[in-house]
Amino acid sequence: MKKVHNFNAGPCILPQEAIDASIEALKDFAGTGMSVITVSHRSKEWEAIMDECRSLWRELLDIPEDYEVLFLGGGASTQFLMVAMNLLETKAAYLETGVWAKKAIKEAKAFGEVEIVASSADKTFNYIPKDFTIPADADYFHITTNNTIYGTELHEDLDSPIPVVADMSSDIMSRPVDVKKYGIIYGGAQKNVGPGGVTFVIVRKDLLGKVSRHLPSMIDYNTHIKDGSMFNTPPVFPVYVMNETLKWVKRNGGVAAMQKRNQEKAAILYDEIDRNKMFVGTAAKEDRSLMNVCFVMAEEYKDKEADFMALAKERNMVGIKGHRSVGGFRASIYNAMPKESVQALVDCMQEFEKLNA
């Protein structure tokens, strides 16, 4: 197989061990003589995978008893409306930190008043707003902890007078999280914990069942809690890969060890961006993401962007083009990204500097 450095933003790199184990299960699942995608989701072998996966979530993030862990379909984008339908009675507060936050806001507006507490739209979302007051009279406060497109990340768990709902699609399992500071944590698996197709939701149970609107069964979190995320057929293969990915996280020391590795990897790349006169980081330094590293060509080398892309391609770098809405470059360096690949990108940037500057 061709060896590449996979900096894709999502779907993206996953641990090779998780992929290999999943390939085996595609061929023969748990000694059943059947593929994991052909067994019944009501079989005891499959139930065991669901149980193991839920336990791993609980163990790795130290999730308290009064929270439930759900595996659903529909992606994070469906959570934008499910959160609002389940929790929004009169007013919700949102922090506007990027395109994903804006999409969450748009969905919530269909179900009640939305107060945008602060926004970084004035500077193309290149920072996280700091000076804001969370309104105590709102039903919840929604944040996006890592802004995948802009490379900004909220590095702390906020204190809030109302339940915090967090889209953690692109930084879940990258660091320890104080789950009890949140009402709901959700995200698409495809950035750090699995392939596309499964969505994780961690929800504090006492928040549910309070809104006056009718909730269709599929929209009601209580439906999925009651049926152990099997009200409808779960996305079995994505869940299987997610389970193997979490086993890999555990074998490699858990989320505290992930955080340490992620800090080291990000530092290697940000140090080079700050040192190399051809490149400039776009995110405010204190808000720099450990997952998505965004940078552009320095003003005087603006015409060299295509040349750098070409060199990077030649050196087997994949996926470093910035999101179409911001341009430049973005290197996504999720949990599974080895330090060697980050170093290879740094080497490539240094080589480019020698050739051009």
Ligand X SMILES: *Cc1c(COP(=O)(O)O)cnc(C)c1O
Q: Which two tokens stand for residue 339?
A: 């330090």
Would residue 20 show up in a list of annotated catalytic residues for this protein?
no
Indicate the residue among 10 and 163 with the shorter CB distance to ligand X: 10
Reported residue count of the chain is 357
- Give residue 350's identity as a one-letter amino acid code: Q
The residue from 57, 100, 139, 220 that is catalytic is 100
We find the least distance from the C-beta atom of residue 80 to ligand X, in angstroms, to be 8
User: CB 65: neighbour CB atoms within 10 A?
Assistant: 7
Residues that bind ligand X (CB under 6 A): 10, 75-77, 100, 144, 148, 167, 169-170, 188, 191
3-class DSSP state of 118: strand
Indicate the residue among 155 and 250 with the shorter CB distance to ligand X: 155
The residue from 57, 191, 248, 287 that is catalytic is 191
We find the least distance from the C-beta atom of residue 284 to ligand X, in angstroms, to be 18
Ordered DSSP codes for 23-75: HHHHHSSTTSSS-TTTS-TTSHHHHHHHHHHHHHHHHHHT--TTEEEEEESSH
Would residue 100 show up in a list of annotated catalytic residues for this protein?
yes
Contact (Cβ atoms closer than 8 angstroms) between residue 42 and residue 50: no
We find the least distance from the C-beta atom of residue 150 to ligand X, in angstroms, to be 10
Would residue 167 show up in a list of annotated catalytic residues for this protein?
yes
We find the least distance from the C-beta atom of residue 330 to ligand X, in angstroms, to be 12
Indicate the residue among 218 and 280 with the shorter CB distance to ligand X: 218
The residue from 167, 171, 220, 287 that is catalytic is 167
Choose among 151, 115, 118: nearest CA to 7: 151
Indicate the residue among 153 and 244 with the shorter CB distance to ligand X: 153
**In angstroms, rounded to a whole number, what is the distance separating the alpha carbons of residues 348 and 346?**
5
Catalytic residues: 100, 167, 191
